[in-house]
Amino acid sequence: MDLPSSVDLQKLREAVSSGRFEWRKHVLQRLASRGIPQSHVVDVLMKGEKIRDYSDDKPFPSAVFLGWIDTRPIHVVVAFDPKSNWGYIISAYEPDLEHFKPDFKTRRPS
């Protein structure tokens, strides 16, 4: 299912595959504490599904991706600057069933 795009999927993946992205300090700390290798985050961005678009985020639009590493679901939040074609990896985490339905795409009501 393609969502209306604020983060251009093709341009984001081109940026990631050519190294035009950066890790925000926060995400590197979280990855270490959550046991998520950086390579898994890149895999999710390259092969995962965009499940949410935040076109109004500032300073750049952002999106949430869902990917699977073996049987482990991973969400990755990325912002993308369409003018410079540069990505910013903001966060990555394993979604849980307390906050998401079993498809790991749909948030449960709070």
Q: What pTM, to 2 d.p., does this model score? A: 0.91
**Total structural domains in the chain?**
1
Q: Give domain status of residue 15, yes or no.
A: yes
Separation CA 100–CA 110 (nearest Å): 10
User: Rg of the chain over CA atoms, in angstroms?
Assistant: 13
For residue 67, is it within any domain?
A: yes
Residue 57, in any domain of the structure: yes
pLDDT at 6: 81
Q: Which of 83, 2, 107, 93 is nearest to 44 (CA)?
A: 93
43: CATH: 3.30.2310.40
Whole-number pLDDT of residue 3: 43
pLDDT of residue 1: 43
User: Does residue 108 lie in a domain region?
Assistant: no
pLDDT along the chain (110 residues), means of 10: 68 97 92 95 97 92 96 96 95 96 93
Would you call 42 helix, strand, or coil by DSSP?
helix
Is 103 part of a structural domain of the chain? no
Query: In this predicted structure, what is the pLDDT of residue 44?
Result: 98
Residue 107: inside a domain: no
105 found inside a domain = no
The range of the structural domain enclosing residue 68 comes to: 9-93
